Amino acid sequence: VTPTCFINRLGTATAFSLNSGSSSWLGNTYTFTFDVTDQNLEETDVTVIIEEAKDLAGNEMGSWISQGTADFDIDQVAPTITTASIKSSNSINNQYARVGQDIILTLSPSEELNTGSFTGNIAGYSINSISDNYLGNGTYVLSVSTDPGVSAGVVTFSIGFEDVCGNAGTLLTSVTDGSSVTVDKTAPVGTIALAGGQADPTSDSPINFALTFSEDVYGLTDGDIDVTGTAGATTAVVTGDRKAHV
């Protein structure tokens, strides 16, 4: 006798329907196929209940309820990205990158993702590293390494992803926190001249020079200045901001 099979979702079976004529018999195995009629369903530990199964002599086995590994999850809901942030491996300023540095995208999704489903690119490069930290802090970290072929300017990205059930999320093309990375392939250019108000010639000390760069610079110190000539100067003192120094 063909058994009755239904799926139990929180004590009901309203989210599922048994396809007409979908039960099949092979040897001593019945196969049942169910459609999920609720397209927004997301349930865990759903159970299967079998009733009215009888052998050829009419012996009935009673109700059977799945347990443990026979239970399963149903997920019809596409994942979303709740937070996304981008940075570089630049230790001076991680919102800028130069050739050879990594660009790193950190994602926090609404649910666990399939790490093998990530597709797309960051700064034109295919993803070459994926760190799965979902069970630890709920994030995935995607990164690429740049080379001389990287394009200068603000980095763009396009990332495809799926949850562990295969539901695809919407293509990710922007961050949620306003972060950005700019690739800078051009070295700064500096010009030096007498500082405004510096007399020439003069016998007074110190003598002030103005050093101006084409862009903001970092790490210029007194020791980076070489003093030469016949005036007998031996030391230099650097003051100023990121672009103009005296």
| pLDDT per residue as tens digits for the range 117-170 | 999 999 999 999 999 999 999 999 999 999 999 999 999 999 999 998 899 999
Q: In what order do the strands lie in the sheet with 157-160?
A: 125-126, 119-122, 157-160
For 25, 71, 99, 134, 244, the CA distances from 149, given in Å and listed in that order, are 61, 51, 8, 32, 31
Angle at 162 between CA 159 and CA 164, to 5 degrees: 145
The pLDDT value recorded for residue 226 is 82
What is the pTM assigned to this prediction? 0.69
Distance between CA 156 and CA 103 in Å, rounded?
A: 11
Which positions of the chain have pLDDT values less than 50?
1, 9-15, 17-21, 68-69
Maximum CA extent, the chain: 121
pLDDT of residue 240: 77
Task: Quote the distance between the C-alpha of residue 90 and its chain's center.
Answer: 18
Task: Give the pLDDT confidence score for residue 81 in this predicted structure.
Answer: 98
Residue 200's SS3 state is coil
Q: Which two tokens stand for residue 245?
A: 């120094």
Which pLDDT score, from 0 to 100, does residue 15 have? 45
CA distance 130 to 110: 18
**Residues facing residue 4 across a β-bridge:** 51
